[in-house]
Structures are given as C-alpha cells and as structure tokens.
Structure 1
Amino acid sequence: MDEQTLARWRLLLGRYSEQHLQHMANLSAAQQQQMQTLDYLYNREYQRRGVVQGQGQDSGGASLDPSQLSALDWLTKSKRLFPKSTFEQMQTTALSRYGMTELMNSPKMLDQLSPSPQIAQALLGMRGRMSNEMRLAVKRLIERVVEEILQRLKPNFRQQFSGRRNRFRRSHVKQASNFDWRATIARNLKHYQQDSQQLVIHEPVFYSRVQNHLPWQVILCVDQSGSMFSSVMYAAICASILAALPAVSVKLVLFDTSVVDLSEHAHDPVEVLMTAQLGGGTNIAQALQYCQSLIETPNRTVLALISDFEEGGSVPLFLRTIQSLASQRVTLLGLAALDEQAQPVYSIDMAQRLADLGMHVAALTPEHFAKWLAEVMQ
C-alpha cells in the first residue's frame, strides 16, 4: 500500500495499531492532530468494554494521550480538522453514544457545536439534567437547527398553497413556477430568427393562480414515542408554516401513552421541541379519539397521523376510530415515520389495514408532504 493509504488505516485503527504501522505510516502534522482528536473520542469505546489503557506510543515520540485535550479544545480542533459532515457525526456520537457530559459544562461549549437534527436530539435527551443557563444555550442551538430547515421548507409550502394554476387566465406576476412555456413559444414564434436559428422571447407568458379561500382545518397527530424525534421536529416545523397561511386552522397533537395538545405553540416549533417528551409507549387510538373531538367541519378537515403505526394499545379501537373518522368524510392521511437517513420505518401490515379503511398512506419527505397536503385540500 502507498503511504497515504497506510496513514488512513492508522487513523482508522487507532492507537493500538501504532506498533504495527509506526514504521510504515508516517503521519503528517495535521494527521497527528486528527489522530489526537479521534483518540479523545473513540478510546471511550475501550473504556466501555473494560479495557485498561496505557499511555500509548507514537512514531514521533510525543504522546498522543487524549488527556492532553480539554473538551473545548477537542471541539475546536475537530471542527477545524474534519469536514462538516464528519464533525457532525463525531459530536453526535460523543453525546448520544458516549454521554460526554463535559460538552455540557458551559454555554460557550454548546455554542461550538455544529447544529444538526442529530445533535438537537441528543441535547434534548439531556435537558432534564441542565441548569437554566444551559437550557437557554440548548434552545439557541435548536433555533439554529429549526431555522435551517425552515428556510428550506417554507418556499415549497408557500408555492404549493399559493393556489392551483389557472390555464385559462394570464398573470402579470412573473414567477418561475407560473411560467407557461407552451403559450410563450406560440406567442413569440413571429420573433424566430432564421439566420441564428433562435427564438427570441419578447413576451413571456405566465399562468395566474386560483386562490382557495374556504377555510381548512389541519390536525397533525404526531407519535412522540421511541425514536420519533425527526418526525416530531419536521411536523412542528410544518405546523408553524401552515399556521402562517391564510384560511388554515392548525392543531398540533403529540402522543405516546398520553396526549399533549400543543396547538397554542403551533407557530413556534422551537417551543414544541423544548416541550416534547420523547419516549414511552404508543396509544394511537387514544390520540385519534382526542383529535376527533377537535374537528369542527369534517369535510373540510385533514387529519394527518404521523407514526410508525405500531399500536401499543387496542388495535380494534384504533381501527374503529379510523373507520368512524372516514365515515364522517374527514380526509385521513397516514405519514409513515422516517429514520435519520429518510428511510421509512413503519408497520406495513397495519398501513395496509388503514388504507383499506380509507386512509391515504405514504412515506414522504417533508418537501413532498407539502405537495400532497395541498393536493388533498384543493
């Protein structure tokens, strides 16, 4: 193997590969610093397994003992030495797998963390052991995570809910989503230039949109049991976007074995996440019965159940409640839970039974959920 490949193996295998690779893999100064930060974190795996560690050796004679680093030094160096995606994975592992409480010693430490959904989940899981000052620092980090996702999702929601295109009416509002390319070509054919074989567009044509002013009620019923953090986070953000739309009334209900109505915070996803209590069992039927009590106009109501559909309570009651809602002409959407890699995680058998009763079931990213929701509300 070439020296660069050997160096990468040295970084991968860690300090106990030194005696075998030290004469073969010469680490650069930057790679030695990488080795130091990796040891600081991943040597904890040996500690978890009861391995007694010595000081270790290295080819340069200087110790790479991770005790040389403080938690703040480790964060600062890791952010500088590794790509953003790698650093995010390392900090998430530090908190969720190894419980590195030293990262929670000060707000300054938290401010060094790179915001990501994974780090937000790890921090929220520890909030019960935090001081008020640390809780405020966590809230600031959650705000950064939410804002990044909000900026990505909001334009898509606004576009989907701005009204369907009217192909028979033209508009002076020049937006790419409204561009009518067929009419534009037809209107500008007279400007076709034979010499250059180009069509010169003098007058682009755009559709207008038909606004839907009839009020809709959207109830988001979100499973907060187990590892549902990603679904809760995206549901909270979607609720805040919907709450800002005209003629849409939003209810946000979280559940495990109990039901929590957070509709008054639907406009504030950060507050929802700081309030959510992830974990516990699942009683979907109880949550749906509560949501049923919130319905004002059934045929103008969308009830979206966001869950893995694994009922921990009464399955017959769960199915009867769905059947009752469908008979009232409530539009029922079943949104399967997604894991951190956006892969669906749900009971296929239960999803089929729900579909047979009239629920529309899909596994969609939040971006596609906006389009789906807009379609059923038109």
Structure 2
Amino acid sequence: MPETITLTPAERWRLLLGEAAETGLARLDGEAAAMDRALSWLYGRDGGDPRDTLDRQGGNEPSALSVPDWINDIHTLFPQETIERLERDAIERYGIDEIVTNPEVLARATPNPALLEAVLRTKHLMNPEVLALARALVAQVVKDIMEKLAKQIERSFSGVKHRQRVVPTGAASQFAAGETLRRNLRHFDPASRRLILARPWFHHNTRRRLERWQIILLVDQSGSMVSSVIHSAVTASCLWGLPGVKTHLIAFDTEIVDLTDHADDPVETLMKVQLGGGTHIGKALAYAAEQIEVPTRAIIVLVTDFYEGMAEYQLVTLTAALVAQGTKVLGLAALNDRAEADFDRRLAEKLADAGAHIAAMTPGQLANWLAEKLG
C-alpha cells in the first residue's frame, strides 16, 4: 500500500474538529482536503454522537460524493483500521448500506468501473442475496471491458500482410491483382489483345508463430491497486486462449493466491480477490520464479505500486537474477485504462537498474508490448 499520508498537528486537529475550525487552524488542501471531504460526507449528517470519539462537526455544503465514490476514496486515503471504522459507522450508525445490504438499490445501479471497484472493496460485507447481484454487476462491467480489450489483443497478435512478398498459391481474399498482371505481361497476345494469366499470385499472409511462452501476471491486491487488479484479471482471460502461450495469474499481498485455474474466468477471479493487507513483493516474485519452465521463454509482468512492506534486498536481488537467466521482467506501476500511477519511484528505479522494464500501461499497450517480445 502507499505510504501513510503525513499530517501536521494543525491538520490533525482540523480534521478532528471539522469545518467549524477552518478559521482558527490551517486550511486543508490536497490529500488532507480529500480526507476531510470523506469524513464530512459521513459525519456531517448530524450534530455528532456522544459515543463518537471523534465528536466531529460537519459543514453545511451538500456533498457531491456518491456511495461508490466515498468507498473508493476512503480506501485510497486512510489506513486499514480507519477504513474498517468508517465502513462500520456508515452501515451501523447512518444506515448507508445501499451497496452492501440493499438488493433493490444494487439491482437498479448502472454498471460502471467505479461501482465495480466499490463492490470489490465491500463484497466481504455482503449477504448471499446481495452478493449474487454483485456478481452479476461484476460480470456486466467485465464483459464491457473484455469486448474492447479482446479486439486490441487480437490485433496485436494476429500478424500482418506483407504485400512485398507474393506466392503462387493462396485464398481468393489474398489475390494480388497488380502483381499478377505485372508478372504475366509477357503472356500478352497483341493480335487478340488478350492477357493470358499463366499463373496467379497471392499476398503471403503471415502470422507470428508463437513458440511456447509463459506469461506470468503477478498482481498486487492491496487496496490502492484495485483498478489494476480488475484489468489484470481481464487481460489474463484474453491471453488465456492464445496459441503457444501459457498464462499464469497470481495475486499477492503478504500472502500468495494462485488464481491460474480461474484465469479464463475473470468474474470468478475478481470474486476471489481479497483487497487490502500488507505487501511482500519479493515473496511473490520468488513464487513466480518457481513457476518458470524455460527461463528464456518466460515473461513476468509484475503489477504493483512498488511500496514494499518487507526488506527490499530480496526483491532487487531476485529481479537481477531473473534478468540474468534470460527471463523478461516487466514492472507495471499501473495496468488500467488511464495508465496513471502513484508508486514508489525510488524502488522502481532500483528494479530498473537491476534490468527490469518499468512502465505504466493500458491493457492494450501491454498487449502490444507482449506481442513484440513474443513475435
């Protein structure tokens, strides 16, 4: 997970007391302002509760946050113990349970990526009836993402026509009319003014012949990486059917979950992912290394924000060893439709120095990168 947001004492008091203290304390901006907005959205609903140790006072301005927005914001801004407290207060004190307890609300919800992220973050709170509806919502959003990505991956791996090369046999759709005329000009009969086509020619349509490769998607499932988790699951599913490619999908925090058996079903994958917890990237990379069959024909795609919760030595040393044996290591700080990332640049630079490729990509860009390396 990202490093803890550092607040000054004045900012802490300002968050504690609410907007009423705005004039007497520091004005909030950036992440601190976002934290205050999230807290005000929840605790600004009444004048406070004596049982609430924060005893906050909220502002009077209407909030533009929706329930999914709020859930996604608090998972980005606060540590895990605070998230659990906020979610508990939202449900138990304020009855804000549209997402996790109300099947009618969830059934009316418009499927979209933001709602999908909120569902994945709160599915552990859902009863079976709501969970079934949530699964259907996940399936619809995943279907929309897959339809777009599948076309991009197909284009990346389908090969191209080489019009400079022609062969004497081929399908009608590959008929090289211009080249056929040019090569048969010597058979032109001036008397009858007819051109006899002694031999037709066809464009040679080549496809990249993929030898057996392994693509190991190693995905950080900490809460800040939820968008990349979604797109990694969809990407793995699209790669699953490629000829000559063996795809692995592995999720990790401080523990490792091998989801390869479900890699062809992104909905099942996402319903099994448990977001949150710490991060041990080195341990996960060591597990991925154990899955490699032929080092020179393996690619590890490490999707993480590079905030390592354990000693960095193992991660950096193992990365260098993998590169030295001929394995390609691609570290992605983000794998989503925006390719935007907040990550530990210092550690990412260390891995780049060890030989890893470091980037942030959309799934389509990843497909192009993989096709280039496998071609």
TM-score (norm 2): 0.67
Deviation at 1:207, TM superposition (A): 6.2
Which amino acid in the other structure matches residue 302 of structure 1? I
CA shift digits 1:222-281 (9 cap, x unpaired):
111131111111010000011111111011110111111000000010111100011111
The residue aligned with 2:288 is 291
Q: Does residue 130 of structure 2 align to residue 154 of structure 1?
A: no
Residues 206 and 344 (structure 1 numbering): CA distance in 2 closer, same or farther, change over 3 Å?
farther
Which amino acid in the other structure matches residue 207 of structure 2? V
SS in 2 for 1:125: helix
| Whole-angstrom CA distance in 2 between matches of 1:287 and 1:140 | 31
Between the two proteins, what is the percent identity of the paired residues? Answer: 35
1:269 paired residue among 243, 266, 269: 266
Residues 138 and 313 (structure 1 numbering): CA distance in 2 closer, same or farther, change over 3 Å?
same
1:311 paired residue among 308, 312, 327: 308
The residue aligned with 2:371 is 374
Q: Which stretch of the first structure deviates more once superposed, 284-293 or 343-352?
A: 343-352
| Whole-angstrom CA distance in 1 between matches of 2:150 and 2:41 | 45
Show the 5 A alignment for 1:319-338.
319-337=316-334
SS in 2 for 1:251: strand
Residues 185 and 365 (structure 1 numbering): CA distance in 2 closer, same or farther, change over 3 Å?
farther
Q: CA RMSD in A?
A: 3.2
2:355 paired residue among 342, 355, 358: 358
| Whole-angstrom CA distance in 2 between matches of 1:266 and 1:344 | 24
SS in 1 for 2:369: helix
Show the 5 A alignment for 1:147-296.
147-163=143-159, 165-166=161-162, 167-169=164-166, 172=171, 208-296=205-293
Which amino acid in the other structure matches residue 43 of structure 2? R
CA shift digits 1:277-315 (9 cap, x unpaired):
111111110000000100001111111111111211111
Conserved? CA contact 2:335–2:360, under 8 Å: yes
| Whole-angstrom CA distance in 1 between matches of 2:316 and 2:100 | 45
Deviation at 1:91, TM superposition (A): 5.2
The residue aligned with 1:92 is 68
Which amino acid in the other structure matches residue 120 of structure 1? L
| Whole-angstrom CA distance in 2 between matches of 1:297 and 1:152 | 32
Conserved? CA contact 2:303–2:335, under 8 Å: no
SS in 1 for 2:246: strand
Residues 273 and 168 (structure 1 numbering): CA distance in 2 closer, same or farther, change over 3 Å?
same
| Whole-angstrom CA distance in 2 between matches of 1:165 and 1:330 | 30
Residues 90 and 173 (structure 1 numbering): CA distance in 2 closer, same or farther, change over 3 Å?
farther
The residue aligned with 1:349 is 346
| Whole-angstrom CA distance in 2 between matches of 1:301 and 1:285 | 18
Which amino acid in the other structure matches residue 127 of structure 2? S
Which amino acid in the other structure matches residue 92 of structure 1? P
Residues 363 and 94 (structure 1 numbering): CA distance in 2 closer, same or farther, change over 3 Å?
closer
Q: Which has the higher contact order (CA 8 A, sep 6+)?
A: 2
SS in 2 for 1:324: helix
Q: Which stretch of the first structure deviates more once superposed, 92-101 or 112-121?
A: 92-101
Q: Which stretch of the first structure deviates more once superposed, 336-345 or 252-261?
A: 336-345
| Whole-angstrom CA distance in 2 between matches of 1:218 and 1:339 | 18
SS in 1 for 2:206: strand
SS in 1 for 2:242: coil
Matched residue count: 283
Conserved? CA contact 1:221–1:304, under 8 Å: yes
| Whole-angstrom CA distance in 1 between matches of 2:275 and 2:370 | 26
Residues 141 and 46 (structure 1 numbering): CA distance in 2 closer, same or farther, change over 3 Å?
closer
Which amino acid in the other structure matches residue 350 of structure 1? L
| Whole-angstrom CA distance in 2 between matches of 1:101 and 1:348 | 38
Residues 361 and 94 (structure 1 numbering): CA distance in 2 closer, same or farther, change over 3 Å?
closer
1:124 paired residue among 103, 120, 127: 120
Residues 187 and 310 (structure 1 numbering): CA distance in 2 closer, same or farther, change over 3 Å?
farther
SS in 2 for 1:363: strand
The residue aligned with 1:49 is 44
Residues 48 and 238 (structure 1 numbering): CA distance in 2 closer, same or farther, change over 3 Å?
same
Deviation at 1:105, TM superposition (A): 4.0
> Which runs of 5 or more residues in structure 1 are unaligned?
1-41, 54-85, 190-204
| Whole-angstrom CA distance in 2 between matches of 1:47 and 1:334 | 37
| Whole-angstrom CA distance in 2 between matches of 1:324 and 1:47 | 49
Show the 5 A alignment for 1:41-80.
45=40, 48-49=43-44, 51-52=46-47
| Whole-angstrom CA distance in 2 between matches of 1:162 and 1:366 | 16
| Whole-angstrom CA distance in 2 between matches of 1:188 and 1:269 | 51
The residue aligned with 2:87 is none
Deviation at 1:164, TM superposition (A): 5.1
Q: Which stretch of the first structure deviates more once superposed, 130-139 or 90-99?
A: 90-99
> Which runs of 5 or more residues in structure 2 are unaligned?
1-36, 49-63, 74-89, 183-201
TM-score (norm 1): 0.67
